[in-house]
Structure 1
Amino acid sequence: MTERHPTPGKEEIALLEPFDRLGLDQIEVVSTPAQAAGALKALADATVLGFDTESKPTFAKNEASEGPHIVQLSALDKAWIFQLEDAECRRVVGLLLSSPAIIKAGFGLGDDQRRIIHKLGVDLQGVLDLNVVFRERGYRKDMGVRGAVAVMFNKRFLKSKKAATSNWANERLTEAQIIYAANDAYGALRVFKALGLG
């Protein structure tokens, strides 16, 4: 069966203008109980957030991932990156992810959900995998944020391969990691809005 709507390939996407991203001043890294309390207050009334996770890559054959190491949640003007070393950060993320009142929209979330259930022991509610929405609308199996941004905005979503495969378990995240992680969640939220889902 051929797809009803073709998605642009890497070469086509490379020619597009860059998609606007959140800057460092719009991203908060949450790693302490006080920061977690502030984030919960800021996010408690949200109805929809962009959502993603990152885990330290595993390279050895039988090495099991202990991820996710961070969880990203994004509004339209700000993103929060929760580092999951701190117990209170894990508790707050668990509250937000298990709230049925907040839609958490992202791409390819099956693995993320399994890891979160294992790590945080919470029942995720309100999670929407945008790949499913695109499939229902006749696009290829897995769109991903880069393909979706190209289709919805005719823009190129910048993604650093180096940041993607970096150590997300580090206590101090680099600026490149912070920008990468926050914008994965932010891009998902922008696509959710553009799809007319809320």
Structure 2
Amino acid sequence: MNAQRPTPDKDAIALLPEFERLGLDRISLVNTAAQAHQAHDQLITARAWGFDTESKPTFKVGEQSDGPHILQLATPERAWVFQLHEPECRAVAADLLARGGIAKAGFGLGDDRKRIVHKLGIDPQGILELNTIFRERGYRKDMGVKGAVAVLFNQRFIKSKKAATSNWANTRLSEAQLVYAANDAYAAIRVWQALEL
């Protein structure tokens, strides 16, 4: 059994230098068939992707989400943000997620997986919950992206609360939404790399 390793708390993380995020020049918005096929061809050459989804928040009791509305996939060089309202984007996204032999690494993926099965009709392959890896390595607390970036890079990962709770079902995403979504997946692939999985 590994000795338990401490996870930095919020106050300690707040003092760290900022983790360098992807800018818009390294983020591709995918909302047409042509963009989806281009993204597919670039992504399938990688061994692993950072992976996340976003769904429009629900605020009423009993309200069911029809998400995910966004799928984010990232390599260490760039990220692709798929909008899933366009049928061909959905089909390409489903193909990518159903593909074996490529690790899809992220945090808190249980809910994402269920929604993908429901929305895209496929069982995603190669899903790698990074929190599980940290557990196996002796970290007691649940490790989200902020904690993982702090532990591995000694840096602070910035997450906008406003972007997190924004409407991901919008056909036009704001720049803030694109940067938020892309960097969740980008941080995950950087963590995957640093863990040498």
Query: Normalised by the size of structure 2, how large is the TM-score?
Result: 0.97
Tell me the equivalent position of 2:22. Answer: 22
Q: Which runs of 4+ in 1 moved over 6 A?
A: none
Tell me the equivalent position of 1:128. Answer: 128
Distance apart, 1:140 and its partner CA:
2.6
Tell me the equivalent position of 1:66. Answer: 66
The CA distance in 2 between the partners of 1:157 and 1:150, in whole Å, is 8
Tell me the equivalent position of 1:116. Answer: 116
The CA distance in 2 between the partners of 1:57 and 1:121, in whole Å, is 21
Tell me the equivalent position of 1:103. Answer: 103
Distance apart, 1:111 and its partner CA:
0.3
Count of aligned positions: 195
The CA distance in 1 between the partners of 2:84 and 2:130, in whole Å, is 25
Letter in 2 for 1:39: A
Offset from partner CA, 1:152-174 (integer Å, 9 cap, x none): 00000010000001000011111
Distance apart, 1:7 and its partner CA:
0.5
Tell me the equivalent position of 1:169. Answer: 169
The CA distance in 1 between the partners of 2:66 and 2:138, in whole Å, is 35
Distance apart, 1:184 and its partner CA:
0.3
Partner SS for 1:163: helix
Offset from partner CA, 1:2-35 (integer Å, 9 cap, x none): x811111111100000001100010001001111
Partner SS for 1:124: coil
Tell me the equivalent position of 1:47. Answer: 47
Q: Is contact 1:107–1:145 with CA below 8 Å preserved after alignment? A: yes
The CA distance in 2 between the partners of 1:11 and 1:44, in whole Å, is 39
Distance apart, 1:196 and its partner CA:
1.1
Distance apart, 1:44 and its partner CA:
1.8
Partner SS for 1:170: coil
Tell me the equivalent position of 2:32. Answer: 32
Q: Is contact 1:104–1:128 with CA below 8 Å preserved after alignment? A: yes
The CA distance in 2 between the partners of 1:152 and 1:196, in whole Å, is 11
Partner SS for 2:125: coil
Partner SS for 1:156: coil
Offset from partner CA, 1:129-166 (integer Å, 9 cap, x none): 00110111111342010000000000000100000010
The CA distance in 2 between the partners of 1:120 and 1:182, in whole Å, is 20
Tell me the equivalent position of 1:139. Answer: 139
* Corresponding position: 1:180 with 2:176: no
Partner SS for 1:155: coil
Where does structure 1 lack aligned partners over 5 or more consecutive residues? none
The CA distance in 2 between the partners of 1:44 and 1:154, in whole Å, is 31
Letter in 2 for 1:175: E
Query: Matched residues, percent identical?
Result: 64
Tell me the equivalent position of 1:94. Answer: 94
Offset from partner CA, 1:60-112 (integer Å, 9 cap, x none): 00100111000000011110000000111011111111111211000010000
Query: Normalised by the size of structure 1, how large is the TM-score?
Result: 0.97
Q: Is contact 2:49–2:189 with CA below 8 Å preserved after alignment? A: yes
